[in-house]
Amino acid sequence: MPVKGRNQSAQALNVHGRLFLIDCGEGTQYRLEEERIPMMKLDSVFLSHVHGDHVFGIFGLLSTLGMKGRQTPLNIFAPANFGPILKFFLSYYGDGLAYEIRFTPLKMKAPETILETKSVAVQAFPLNHGIETFGFRFAEKEPPFNVYKDAIERHGLTLTEIGTLKRGEDVLRADGSVIPAAEVAYKPFVPRSYAYCSDTAPFPEEAAWLQGTTVLYHETTYQEAFSAQGTLRHHSTTLQAARLAADAGVQQLLIGHYSSRNADVRAYEAECRAIFPKTFATSDGDRYEI
């Protein structure tokens, strides 16, 4: 339900300069403008399900991209039942769009990779929400090794040798000497991951599918006192999300998708922290670095 100061579901995820939009609730294009997130740089859109609070903003966004002169194809990953919605949009408002919309229907019963770039692999997996609904996990790929600058000068490394070390392999020279990669090369970062689970009630496989995720966003529509409503409407409570985060061994839990009956999001956060201390209640405009 509409709540003053609280917009519908939409998140922007920046992975090494590649911009992904996750869900597109009503007013998303306005929020992108307000937060100075360049919508023309959107690479792909991921829609969890076709309930209105997650898709009512897509028509406006697609139209505005056309009016701004976008020519780069746009990927949309969504449940198969989004297909007729997209077809309706294109039949009435698609004239003049100079860019291609590449729609990929999601139909998997277990996690599957749906998109890969040089730096990230994206998986989709089914959730438990009464209608066809999917979560998404964005996992950074292992980066190549970097070679210490002083080692390049000290050993007089050639470009070929640097390439060998960047693959994590030792360099064997013609004179029989060895330059161990472990001594002169290093990984610039430990790969990170981000998962988005909204909307869903708990289900047995969820913790295993999210195991070791760096940051998990999980819906907490209801506080624990309203757990019966959560069961009825296929949503999660604060304690259910917190237990999941603990069972999955995630480093940080972000929560959101709060019931309109409660304006105090810190109450949600407090309930989660009783089980999982590294919980943060999200609000519109928040930015997190993973």
For 180-232, the pLDDT digits (tens) are 999 999 999 999 999 999 999 999 999 999 999 999 999 999 999 999 999 99
* Residue keyed to tokens 């076709």: 50
Same domain, yes or no: 98 and 157: no
- Residues 77-106 have a mean pLDDT of 97
What is the predicted pLDDT for the residue at 261? 86
Token readout for 7 is 């917009």
Largest CA distance in the chain: 75
Same domain, yes or no: 103 and 153: no
Same domain, yes or no: 99 and 30: yes
Which listed residue (43, 53, 95, 284) is catalytic? 53
Say if 155 falls within a structural domain.
Answer: yes
CA distances from 243 to 157, 207, 248, 249 (A): 51, 9, 8, 10
Question: Would you place residue 2 in the very low, low, confident or very high pLDDT band (cuts 50, 70, 90)?
Answer: confident
Q: Which of 155, 186, 217 is the last residue of a domain?
A: 186
pLDDT at 57 over 90: yes
- Cα 70 to Cα 9: distance, rounded to the nearest angstrom: 24
- Residues 8-34 have a mean pLDDT of 97
Q: Which of 186, 140, 191, 150 is nearest to 165 (CA)?
A: 186
Q: Is the peptide bond before 199 cis (omega within 30 degrees of 0)?
A: yes
Question: Would you place residue 26 in the very low, low, confident or very high pLDDT band (cuts 50, 70, 90)?
Answer: very high
Say if 274 falls within a structural domain.
Answer: no
Same domain, yes or no: 6 and 105: yes
Say if 200 falls within a structural domain.
Answer: no
Question: Would you place residue 3 in the very low, low, confident or very high pLDDT band (cuts 50, 70, 90)?
Answer: confident
Residue 121's identity, in one-letter code, is A
What mean pLDDT is reported for the chain?
96
Q: Which of 94, 109, 124 is the last residue of a domain?
A: 109
Q: Which of 186, 212, 245 is the last residue of a domain?
A: 186
Say if 241 falls within a structural domain.
Answer: no
Number of domains in the chain: 2
Same domain, yes or no: 91 and 8: yes
What is the predicted pLDDT for the residue at 115? 98
Same domain, yes or no: 167 and 80: no
pLDDT at 243 over 90: yes
Same domain, yes or no: 1 and 91: yes
CATH number of the domain within which 64 lies: 3.60.15.10
- Residues 111-130 have a mean pLDDT of 97
The boundaries of the domain holding residue 168 are 146-186
Say if 79 falls within a structural domain.
Answer: yes
HEC sequence for the chain:
CCECCECCCCEEEEECCEEEEECCCCCHHHHHHHCCCCHHHEEEEECCCCCHHHHCCHHHHHHHHHHCCCCCCEEEEEEHHHHHHHHHHHHHHCCCCCCCEEEEEECCCCCEEEEECCCEEEEEEECCCCCCCEEEEEEECCCCCEECHHHHHHHCCCHHHHHHHHCCCCEECCCCCEECHHHHEECCCCCCEEEEECCCCCCCCHHHHCCCCCEEEEECCECHHHHHHHHHHCCCEHHHHHHHHHHHCCCEEEEECCCCCCCCHHHHHHHHHCCCCCEEECCCCCCCCC
- Residues 13-41 have a mean pLDDT of 97
Q: Which of 256, 257, 250 is nearest to 208 (CA)?
A: 250
Same domain, yes or no: 158 and 72: no
Say if 161 falls within a structural domain.
Answer: yes
Question: Would you place residue 286 in the very low, low, confident or very high pLDDT band (cuts 50, 70, 90)?
Answer: very high
What is the predicted pLDDT for the residue at 197? 98
Say if 250 falls within a structural domain.
Answer: no
Same domain, yes or no: 56 and 102: yes
Strand partners, 222: 237
pLDDT at 263 over 90: no
**Which residues are within 8 A (CB) of 183 and not within 5 positions of it... i.e. 6 or more apart?**
151
Q: Is 247 a catalytic residue?
A: no
Same domain, yes or no: 91 and 9: yes
What is the predicted pLDDT for the residue at 240? 98
Question: Would you place residue 5 in the very low, low, confident or very high pLDDT band (cuts 50, 70, 90)?
Answer: confident
Say if 243 falls within a structural domain.
Answer: no
